[in-house]
Structure 1
Amino acid sequence: MKKLVLILCVFVSTMGWANNGWFNILESGGNNKGELCTEAIQGAIDKASEFGGGTVYFPAGEYLTGPLTLKSNIVLHVEAGALVKFSTNFDHYLPFVEVRWEGTVIQTFKPLLHARDAKNITITGRGTIDGQGRAWWEEIWRIESAKEKLEPTKYQKMTEEANGHIQTADYYKRTRSYLFHRPPLFQAFKCEDITIEGVTIQNSPFWTINPAFCNNITIDNVSIYNPYSPNTDGINPTSCSNVRISNCHISVGDDCITIKSGRDADGRKWATPTENVTITNCTMLSGHGGVVIGSEMSGSIKKITIANCVFDGTDRGIRLKAARGRGGVVEDIRVSNVVMNNIQKEAFMFNLFYDKNTVEEPVTERTPIFRNIHISNVTATNVNTAGRVIGIPEMPIHNLSFTNINVEAEQGFSVTTARDIEFHDVKVNTTIGSAFKVEESSNIILDHVSTQAPLKDTPVVKLNNVSNVLLNNNFPMQLTDVYVEVDGKDTKSVFLKNNVFENVKTPLKTGKELKVKIKVE
């Protein structure tokens, strides 16, 4: 009997299996010399799955593979010094599979790391995963830059055949017309208990970490690098719940972290919100936005906290974007303890005109809603614009507050078509225009707001066509020409109370269209 057991153990070892649950790629028919070994890697994953789970181990070296299908109870451990590179042969990503791509569930190329209806998946280690995305980027650049209509490639024809039945809004036809949907580097679809930690991920063909319809996700201590490249977002949970993103470092060609829940009618059909998300202790460098919510938010996005993060060099800091036709509710958002620097556009952007649809509609399921959003304890320097809030008349952005904010910017805050907006202890230094500009809005509180660099003949606060506005506890400490200017034929119920204007030449300036008296106490 002992001899039989010994023979069995030797046999198992030679097949790359391990009694301790480790499946070494080099002992499973793979190689670390950069030669394609997809079958060996996938074989190790499949074998571990047959044993009920285990760790598929990549020792130091270079590995080349096609797309991999992850299964329940599997750990991919990429050791320090290991580089896992993905094939640039598009045929390796066929046949098409079902994925959510830019908010719509379609048939397209298989993600580089893919899972479906699985549980307990982990990617870990101190090694690097390289999507070799340039081949994909160059193909989309080739299609986009063509001055004349190109003959469709076989992939474009396949995409049209597989997805010709899908209905999309007019604004989306430009994207859909390319019919070349680059795959995300990682997409788990309808999975649970996902952990990605420690690894470096670079050169994704498209979005990088993109779980869809998943529950219980942890992304910790991950570094993501996608140089100048199209749509290479860092982390994009879509219609997911219970997501924890922490200690990550992200520098990409699009948004660093984006929270999504589906696009338009297809997103409303799946009707799955993204909710219970925490983002903490992350640094974001190059990217269109630090943390972005939307624009695919048709399934709604709720209960999000963003704290203790640094944005340095992104186009925008915190950005919420949607448009008519999307529908969905973004609510219960908290942002705190954030430092921003070198922000190319807005530090804060809340925009319901993202797709520039200017035709007003009745309030229906197509109407997007932003509400109950609160931001506190933020310092921002070298900023182009402090913030913009842009609602739509049928659904103003509402219940939004800024507390203990310090911004050094070229331009200040502007609020248009909003209600229940509050600024408390907000200091904005500008080089152009007013620090605070509010128009076509109601129920506004400006409490202890100021600038340390008042501009000549420029009001610190400018109000136009507003109602129910309170300016309270304001004490300009610097010599100021004009503190507040009020105008607009629809303006009413504006109150100045408990303010100290000893350092102000003209505390209140009124415009020619103003029809009511401003109450000053």
Structure 2
Amino acid sequence: MSTHISSRTPLLIACLLTLLSVVAGANPPKTALYYNVLDYGAKRDGSQLATASIKKAIDAAVATGGGTVYFPAGEYLTGPIHLKSNITIFIDAGALIKFSDNFDDYLPMVPSRWEGTNVTNFSPLFYAYKAENIAIVGRGTIDGQGKKWWDYFFEARKNKETRSKWQQEFDRVNPDVIKPDVHGTYDVGFLRPPFIQPMYCKNVRIEGITIQNSPFWTVNPEFCENVTVTGVTINNPPSPNTDGINPESCRYVHISDCHISVGDDCITIKSGKDEDGRKVGVPAENYTITNCTMLSGHGGVVIGSEMSGDVKKITIANCVFDGTDRGIRIKTARGRGGVVEEIRVSNIIMKDIREEAVMMNMQYTKTDPEPVSERTPRFRNIHISGITGNAQNAFVLRGLDEMPIDEVTFSDINLRTRDGVNILNATNVSLHDVRITTEAGPSLEAQNVQHLEIDGFKTLEPHAGVPLMQLKDAQDVYVHGCFPVEGTDTFLQLDGSKTEGVVVEGNNLRHVKTAVRKGDQVVEQAETSNASSYSIP
């Protein structure tokens, strides 16, 4: 006799097993818990401060081990929001959180970091201290209402003789602050708070939200590990120090798919300033930045100038800089100390850059040479490739007399600029397949350089009476693989009594009037050329 199994049998079996598990006392997994701020007294018409209601919602979530504090569509007015471990702030589409511009709402002051110096200061708008597994996500908007902060900062800087109650409080709680070597802002004693500042946190995520009108730096993780900022839009108008994303002294930072237009630098990597930064000694390391667009801002991606704790192992790729003052900018000064190294930049489109496409400046603050010490900064092992676009200036490298920039490569570059590449005080620099078309002047000028390799360098539009490349006081230079276009007057101009060891070979110079021209101070033996490489019939 055959046995017929109904199609409903599996479902009946599953139901029976579920019933048995309940009877046996098995606990089904909990779903994520949501804590709607409206249920804790918040009003979504912006009519009253929701600070206490939001805190109640966070505390309720913490009491159950964590959860999601939910902001449905509407407008909310609040003071600072302090996150705890295992808390997600979910700002839904249509929700707008406006932060109060009453400075008293950000008291009492809390441990913070301001431009690379540890201080006690106004509470950041979003703040977390030694928390884990925290997030701010959603499709809503947060507004820092920064204008009052900006205006008062300028007023305080002009009237240093008058000390407001906030400045007096800052003085009281910061009796032993280590001020940086060169900076006057701390003397003002009115330090605007960052918008989002988690400190000493692990597993931080900021995703999807729109941020606007920050009082100061916008997204500013400090001493954090495993930070992800993705799909975030930041809009700050022209305003003082309203950088976009500034992860400082963090490890394992991932920034992707962000759209940034701000009053200062778009993305900046930092690790502390001067003596305080060296004393703390926590580097910024293992960062990835990819698939971002940067519009208004002083720099697209910037390292420094606060880099006293070191910056290392950074990769920047697949970004568009459209109208920023500079593209890639690495800056420091004597007194900072620290090292910037192991930096990779690739596949960047730069459009209408108002100053340098790439700037590496160790003379950000003008100072006199001094003996090498812990105060001496270092730039080394920096590699840039795949840059296309237009800018006022191509690349500017400014090393120190006592500490040249070391180990830099540029490859696969195509830029149209007013001025070309300018290098001062550098060693072990290589340019491979670099095309710089200037409006006037040489495409490359270098002074006080050692171990310079130039391979496949050219311009598309040479200028009458102007050399393609001009070197002064250059030692151990290898120029090869170049094919200058028709109309090039002078391929290489050499100047300076220290110039020596210049080798020019393997180039196709058939369109060049003068291959190598030497200034009066250049000794005859300074340059060696393979004559047969000058012209290939």
**TM-score (ref. length: structure 1):** 0.94
Q: Secondary structure at the match of 1:88?
A: coil
- Equivalent-residue separation in structure 2 for 1:113 and 1:297 (angstroms): 24
Matches within 5 A, 1:24-43: 24-34=36-46, 35-43=48-56
Q: In the alignment, is residue 372 of structure 1 matched against residue 372 of structure 2?
A: no
How far apart, CA to CA, are the structure 1 residues paired with 2:394 and 2:439? 11
Give the Å deviation of 1:319.
Answer: 0.4
By how many angstroms is 1:403 displaced?
A: 0.3
State the 1:264 CA deviation. Answer: 0.8
CA distance in 2, matches of 1:478, 1:41: 70
Given candidates 98, 115, 119, the residue that maps to 2:132 is: 119
2:271 counterpart (261, 269, 280): 261
Q: Offset of 1:19 from its aligned partner?
A: 7.6
The residue type equivalent to 1:498 in the other structure is G
Q: Which stretch shows the higher mean deviation, 220-229 or 502-511?
A: 502-511
The 5-angstrom pairing of residues 44-63 of structure 1 reads: 44-63=57-76
In 2, Cα distance between equivalents of 1:270 and 1:320? 21
| Greater than 4 Å deviation, 4+ residue runs | none
In structure 2, what is the Cα distance between the partners aligned to 1:57 and 1:516? 77
* Equivalence for 1:92: 105
Q: State the Cα deviation string for residues 204-260 of structure 1 (Å, max 9, x = none).
A: 000000000000001000000000100000000000000000000000000000000
Letter in 2 for 1:373: I
- 1:478 and 1:140 map into 2 onto residues whose CA distance is 56
Counterpart AA for 1:115: A
Q: Structure 1: how far apart are the matches of 2:428 and 2:421?
A: 16
Q: Given that residues 195 and 216 in structure 2 are in contact (C-alpha distance below 8 angstroms), is that contact kept between their aligned partners in structure 1?
A: yes
Which residue in 1 is equivalent to 2:308?
298
CA distance in 1, matches of 2:402, 2:143: 46
Q: Find the counterpart in structure 2 of residue 171 from structure 1.
A: 182
CA distance, structure 2, for counterparts of residue 107 and residue 204 of structure 1: 19
Counterpart Cα distance in 2 of 1:232 and 1:258: 11
**Alignment partners' CA distance in 2, 1:516 and 1:100:** 57
User: Residue by residue, what CA displacement relative to the aligned partner does 1:38-95 show, whole Å, maximum 9, x if unpaired?
Assistant: 1001110111111100000000000000001100000100000000010000000001
Partner residue, 1:331: 341
Which residue is equivalent to 1:6?
none
One-letter code aligned to 1:326 = R
- Letter aligned with residue 103 of structure 2: F
CA 1:170 to 1:278, structure 2 compared with 1: closer, same or farther past 3 Å? closer
RMSD (Å) for aligned C-alpha atoms: 1.1
1:416 aligns with 2:424: yes
Return the alpha-carbon distance in structure 2 between the equivalents of residues 301 and 508 of structure 1. 40
SS of aligned partner of 1:452: coil
* Distance in 2 of aligned mates of 1:199 and 1:82: 10
> Aligned in 2, Cα 1:170/1:329: closer, same or farther, shift over 3 Å?
closer
Residue type of the partner of 1:341? K
- The aligned residue for residue 503 of structure 1 is 511
Q: CA deviation at 1:141?
A: 2.0
Structure 2, gaps ≥5 residues long: 1-29, 531-537
In the alignment, the residues of structure 1 paired with residue 485 and residue 491 of structure 2 have an alpha-carbon distance, to the nearest angstrom, of 11
2:163 counterpart letter in structure 1: P
Structure 1 position 398, deviation (Å): 0.4
Distance in 2 (alpha carbons) for counterparts of 1:213 and 1:78: 25
Shift of 1:150: 4.2
Q: Aligned letter for 1:239?
A: S
SS of corresponding position for 2:457: strand
Query: In the alignment, residue 385 of structure 2 is paired with which amino acid?
Result: S
Aligned with residue 23 of structure 1, among 22, 35, 52:
35
User: Would the aligned equivalents of 2:118 and 2:177 in 1 still touch at CA under 8 Å?
Assistant: no
* Structure 2 SS opposite 1:138: helix
**Do the aligned partners of 2:117 and 2:180 also contact (CA within 8 Å) in 1?**
no
Q: Does 1:130 align with 2:138?
A: no
**Larger Cα Rg: Structure 1 or Structure 2?**
2
Could you state the TM-score of these two structures normalised by the residue count of structure 2? 0.92
User: Quick one: distance in 1 between partners of 2:481 and 2:519?
Assistant: 23
TM-superposed CA distance for 1:168, in Å, is 2.2
After TM superposition, list the pairs within 5 Å mapping 1:392-471 onto structure 2: 392-471=400-479
Q: Which residue of 1 aligns with 2:481?
A: 473
Aligned counterparts of 2:172 and 2:38: Cα–Cα separation in 1: 40
Post-superposition shift, 1:368? 0.5
Identical-residue share of aligned pairs (%): 51
For residue 169 of structure 1, report the CA deviation from its aligned partner.
Answer: 3.8
Does the CA-based 8 Å contact 2:116-2:271 persist in structure 1?
Answer: yes
The 5 A counterparts of 1:129-278 are 129-144=142-157, 146=158, 149-172=160-183, 174-278=184-288
- Paired with 2:346 and 2:482, the residues of 1 have a C-alpha distance of 23
Give the letter for the 2:182 counterpart: Y
What stretches of structure 1 of length at least 5 have no aligned partner?
Answer: 1-17
